[in-house]
Structure 1
Amino acid sequence: MSHPIMSRSKDEGFVFSIIILTLTELVGLVGLVGNGIILGLLSSRIHRNNFSIYFLDLASADFLFLCCHLVIVIPETLQQHFSFPHYVYDSLLALRFFFYTVGLSLLGAISMEQCAATLWPSCYHRHRPPHTSAIVCALLWALCLLLHFLSYGTCGELSGGNAGIVCSQIGLARVALLCFLLVMMCVSSLVLLLRVECGSQRRWPQQFYLITLFSVLTFLFCGLPFGIYRLSLNWMKIPPHYYCLSILMACVNSSAKPPIYLCVGKLRRLRFREPFKAVLLRALGDEEELGEGGEILDTGPVEV
Structure 2
Amino acid sequence: MDADLVYFDDPNDTYSSLPDDSVSSGNVSDNVVFGISILVICIFGAVGNGIVIWLLGFRIKRNPFSTYILNLAVADFGVLLAATFFVADYWVGFIYDTPIIFFVFFFLFLSTYSSSQFLLTAISLDRCVAVFFPLWHRCHRPPHLSTIVCALIWVLVLFFLLTAVTCTLKSVRLHVSIIEESYQFIVNAVLCLPVMTIATVSLFIKACLKARQHRRGRLLTVILLTLLFFLLFAFPFNIMHILTNLIYLPIYMSSGALLLACLNSSINPVIYFLVGRQWKSSHREGMKMILQKVFKEEEGCVEETTV
Aligned to 1:74: 88
Q: Which amino acid aligns with 2:77?
A: F
1:215 matches 2:230: no
| Distance in 1 (alpha carbons) for counterparts of 2:261 and 2:137 | 34
Give 1:11 deviation, angstroms: 8.4
Partner of residue 99, structure 2: 86
The percent identity for this pair of structures is 29
Letter in 1 for 2:151: A
Structure 2 unaligned segments of length 5 or more: list them. 1-22
Counterpart pick for 1:277 among 288, 293, 296? 288
SS in structure 2 opposite 1:44? helix
> 1:46, 1:53 within 8 Å by CA — same for their partners in 2?
no
Q: TM-score, normalised by structure 2?
A: 0.80
In terms of fraction of residues, the more helix-rich structure is 2
What SS does the aligned partner of 2:27 have? helix
Distance 2:279 2:131 in 1: 22
Q: Which deviates further from its counterpart, 105-114 or 66-75?
A: 66-75
The structure with the larger Rg is 1
Q: Which amino acid aligns with 1:103?
A: S
| Partner Cα separation in structure 2 for residue 226 and residue 277 of structure 1 | 32
Separation of aligned partners in 1, 2:88 and 2:60: 35
Question: 1:99-138, aligned counterparts within 5 Å?
Answer: 99-138=112-151
Q: Which amino acid aligns with 1:38?
A: V
In the alignment, which of 244, 257, 277 is matched to residue 246 of structure 1? 257
Equivalence for 1:31: 45
Partner letter of residue 58 of structure 2?
Answer: S
Change (3 A) 1:46 1:275: closer
Which amino acid in structure 2 is aligned with residue 82 of structure 1? G
Give, in angstroms, the shift of residue 267 of structure 1: 5.3
| Residue identity in the other structure for 1:193 | F
CA distance in 1, matches of 2:303, 2:298: 15
Cα 1:106/1:242, change in 2 over 3 Å? same
Provide the C-alpha distance between the structure 1 equivalents of 2:303 and 2:184, rounded to a whole number of angstroms: 38
Structure 1 Cα separation of the partners of residues 115 and 226 of structure 2 = 15
**What is residue 152 of structure 1 aligned with on the other side?**
167
Q: Which runs of no fewer than 5 residues in structure 1 stay unpaired?
A: 1-8, 289-301
User: What's 2:74 paired with?
Assistant: 60
Q: Are the aligned partners of 1:17 and 1:244 in contact in 2 as well (CA < 8 Å)? A: no
Give the counterpart letter for 2:221 in structure 1.
Answer: L
Which range is displaced more, 201-210 or 178-187? Answer: 201-210
Of stretches 121-130 and 200-209 in structure 1, the one that deviates more from structure 2 is 200-209
Instruction: Find the aligned partners of 1:287 and 1:136 in 2 and give their Cα distance.
Output: 17
**Counterparts in 2 of 1:41 and 1:173: CA distance versus 1, 3 Å:** closer
RMSD between superposed Cα atoms in Å: 2.8
Q: Which residue of the partner structure matches residue 18 of structure 1?
A: 32
| 8 Å Cα contact 2:182-2:245 kept in structure 1 | no
Distance 1:11 1:191 in 2: 44
| CA displacement at 1:196 relative to structure 2 | 2.5
SS across alignment from 2:52: helix
Post-superposition CA distance 1:26-83 (Å, at most 9, x none): 11111111111101110136653220110110111111221111011233x55xx835
Contact persistence 1:66–1:254 (CA under 8 A): yes
